[in-house]
Structure 1
C-alpha cells in the first residue's frame, strides 16, 4: 500500500484493488517519489513508457514541481483531480493516474488501449453505387470519419453517459443552423433521462427515446452507412451514435424514409422513383396478398374470375384444412426458415433457406397440406417483405401479416378493412420527435411530394416541417 501521506488515501487504494489487478510504478526524484497507477489490461503500456515514464525520468532530477513536470507529457490529461469517484471511473476506462508523494493533487492521462477494427464495407446496407464505408464499433473512429468527410465547423457533438454502471458514451450530432432547436432540445432531454444499464446497441437505445416505444413501427432510421448519415446531417436531421455499435440513429424519420435506400441518391431521378414505387407496391403485396386469398376463398368466391375457379378447386381438392389454417401453416414455416437461416453461418444459412424452402414446399403439396397457388402467394409475400431497405421496418411488415390473416379468416374483406382502418389510425397518431410520422401525406403537402430528391436534400428539416400554411394543400 502506498504512503499514507500521498494524495491517494488508503481507502481509495483498497477500492482500486477490488476492481482488479492494478499496477504501480515509483519514480524517485529530489522532492519525493512519483507514483503511476493503472490497470495493465486496459492501458497501452508502450504509450505509458514512451510518453510518461521516459519524459519524466529525464526531468526527475530537476527541482521542478509536479505541476510543471506534467506539462511535458504530450497526452490528453485531466488534473488536478481530487475526487475519488472520478479517479476510479477514469482508471477503469484505461487512464493512468500520476501523483507525487506529499503532493496535494494527482493527474489523469488518457492511455487507453485501442481495441477496434478498421472501417469496412457495409454488411447490412450493401449497395452497388456510392462510397463503400461503414461505421465501426469505436465511437472515436466514427467521429473521425465524420470529421474527415464532413469538415464543417457547424457540426456539433453533444455527449451523454447512460447507465449507472455501464456509463456508455452516447453522442448527439447535428448541424448548427440547419437542425431545429426544438428537435435538438427534445432529443437532449430524452437522452439525459435514459439511465438503463446493459444498453449495448442503438436498436436498444431506440426503444428508450422513441415517441411511442410500444408501437410496432420504429420512429428512427438506423444506418451503418457513413454517406447516408452525412446526407441527413446536411439536410438538417439529427443523428445519435453510441460507443460499441456500428449503427447510428437518424431522426426525424417519417414513415416513407424507411423505404428510401442510400443508393437512391446516386441514381437518376426516374430510376430512383421507380424503385421507391416498387418498394411501396411490395408493402401491399406483403401485407395483403395472403389475407386477400384467404378472404376470397372463405367468403367471397364471387370475386374470383370464373376461369380461375377450376384451377383453384383442383389445387385445393386434397387439402383438408380451411384456407386460414393453410395460410397460417405456410407463413409459420416461412418464418421458421427465415429465422433459422439468419442464425446459421452465412453459407450454410443461404443453402438451408433455398433447399429447405424447395423441399418443404414440394413435400407439403404432395402430402396435401397446402396448394400450389398458396405457396406462390406466400413466397411472393415473403419476398416482398425483404425489399424494405430498413430491417426493423421489414420485420414490422412481416408481423402485420398475421393479424391481417386472422381478420380475413374471421370476417373476410370486412375484417381486412377493419385492420386497415386501425393501421391507418395508428400511423396517423404516431410522431417522430414531435413531427408527423406520415408527412407529407399528413399533414398533406403535395408541393413537397412533387419536389425532386435533390430539392429535398437541399432543404433543412426546419424548412420542411415549418412551411407556411399557404404552401400546403
Structure 2
C-alpha cells in the first residue's frame, strides 16, 4: 500500500501526522462554561479572518449560552461554508484545502470544518522570471515563506508533507523551512540537512542561495551541489521523488537536494512534451554544454598546434581569415570571450529593454568592427557566438555560470599543450566531479556509480510507463510512485 495514502486512520493518528509540521496549529477557545479546540494549517488560511469571523463571534456568543451540539455552530459563526462530518478522510481533505477544524471534545468526532481560504501574499503576475517554459505551468515563488509553503501544499495535499521551521541568523532571525515527504524521503537526508541548518552560525541571511553555499559538501568547487529553483513544479517533483527542499523567508528560491549533475540539465518542459521529443531536447542541451565548454578551446588547439587535422577544403578559408590578425589564437579568443562576458554582465545589470538592445546592437557592432580591424577572424566570431548561445541551453543559471567559468582554464590549457592540454583539463574535471557529493550522495549518479534502472531519466526522459519508480540512489521509503497499467487498445472493427 502506498505510504502516502492511508485509507483507514483515526482522527488522533491524522492529528499526530499533521502535528509533525511547524505550520500546523492546535489551539483552544476558552468559553465561560466549556473549551473548544481549533486545528488548522496557518499557511493555508487567513488568520485575520479566523480571528474576526470565528474566534471573536464564538467568544461573544459563548458568554450567553453553551454550545450543546456542534451542529449549532452554524448559528454562532457568520460563514456559510461550514460542514459537520464524522469522516476522517473528509477532515484531512478539508484541512489541506484551507479549512479549520473545530471540536468540542479534543481528538473526537464529529468535527466542524469551516472554510477560511488565504488569498493574501499572491501577486497578480506570479510567473517565473529566469526559468522559462513554453509548455506547462509558469507559477513561481515570492519572498514570503508562508505563501511559498501554501503554493507547495496546493499541489501536495497530504499530511505527509512535513514542514519544519528553523531560525537562522544572529541579527536577522530569518525563518527557514525544511520540507520533505514523511515515509518517502530517506531519514538520513532529512537529519543531515536539518543538522547543517542548525549548525549555521551567520549574522544575516538574505537569500536561500547563501544557505546553498554554506550547507554544501565541498566549497572548493565551481559546480553547484544543490539545485536552486524558482519554479513550483520543479520543487514538487523533487519532493515526490524523495528529495529535501529548503527555503528562507525573503527569498523566492527553493534549494533541493541531494542533487546530481543530471538534475541541472533537466527542464520541467521535458515532462510536458511526448517522451521522444523531451528526450531529444534534453540531449540537445547536454550536447550544447559540451560544445560551449570545448569549442573555443579546440579552435585554439587546432590553430596553434594541430593544423594537420583540418580538412584541405577548410584550411584555405581558415588561413585567409587569420592572415591579417596580429595576435596569437589565445589572445584572439580571450579578447572575444571577455567581450561577450562584458555584454552579458552589462545586459543583466541594465533595465530589461536597454539590456536587450545593448546585447544585440553591441554584439553586432563590436563583432563587425573587430573583424574589419583585423583583431579577430570571421571563423572565431561564429564559434564564440555559438558557444555563448549553447551556454544558455542549461535550464539552471548556476550551472550556466559554471560552464562559463570553466571555459577559460580549458582555453589556457589548450594554448599551452594543445590537444594534450584539453584532455588533461577534461580528465581533471571528470575526476573532480566523480569525487563530489551532495548530502553524502555521489554527484555523478546514476552514471557513476552505475545505476542502470535510474538511467531512464538521465540522458533521456523515458515514457511514463517506465518512470513509475523513484530513483534508487535516493533510497526512498516508498520506491514505487504509481503502478502503470497495460494499455489495451480496442478498435471499432473488433466489435463487428
Q: Check whether TM > 0.5.
A: yes
1:284 deviation in Å? 1.1
Aligned to 1:181: 187
Select 1:282's aligned residue among 288, 305, 308: 288
Which 10-residue stretch deviates more, 247-256 or 445-454? 445-454
With the length of structure 2 as denominator, give the TM-score of the two structures.
0.70
* C-alpha distance in 2 between matches for 1:448 and 1:460: 8
CA contact under 8 A between 1:291 and 1:408: conserved in structure 2? yes
Matched, 1:390 2:396: yes
CA contact under 8 A between 2:227 and 2:264: conserved in structure 1? yes
Aligned to 2:349: 343
SS of the residue aligned with 1:178?
coil
Aligned to 2:32: none
Superposition pairs of residues 63-462 of structure 1, within 5 angstroms: 117=123, 120-450=126-456, 452=462, 454=464, 458-461=468-471
CA contact under 8 A between 1:294 and 1:409: conserved in structure 2? yes
The structure-2 alpha-carbon separation of the partners of 1:184 and 1:118, relative to structure 1 and needing over 3 Å to count, comes to farther
1:272-318, Cα deviation, whole Å (9 max, x unpaired):
11011101111111010000010001011111111111111110111
1:237 deviation in Å? 1.1
SS of the residue aligned with 2:141?
coil
CA contact under 8 A between 1:265 and 1:453: conserved in structure 2? no
Aligned to 2:98: none
Gaps of 5+ in 1: 1-45, 63-113, 468-473
CA contact under 8 A between 1:231 and 1:457: conserved in structure 2? no
1:339 deviation in Å? 0.3
SS of the residue aligned with 2:270?
helix
The structure-2 alpha-carbon separation of the partners of 1:274 and 1:149, relative to structure 1 and needing over 3 Å to count, comes to same
The structure-2 alpha-carbon separation of the partners of 1:198 and 1:415, relative to structure 1 and needing over 3 Å to count, comes to same
SS of the residue aligned with 2:162?
strand
* C-alpha distance in 2 between matches for 1:296 and 1:358: 26
1:144 deviation in Å? 1.3
Gaps of 5+ in 2: 1-47, 65-119, 477-496
1:238-262, Cα deviation, whole Å (9 max, x unpaired):
1111110111011111001100001
* C-alpha distance in 1 between matches for 2:202 and 2:372: 52
CA contact under 8 A between 1:202 and 1:242: conserved in structure 2? yes
SS of the residue aligned with 2:131?
coil
Aligned residues: 373
1:453 deviation in Å? 5.9
1:192 deviation in Å? 0.5
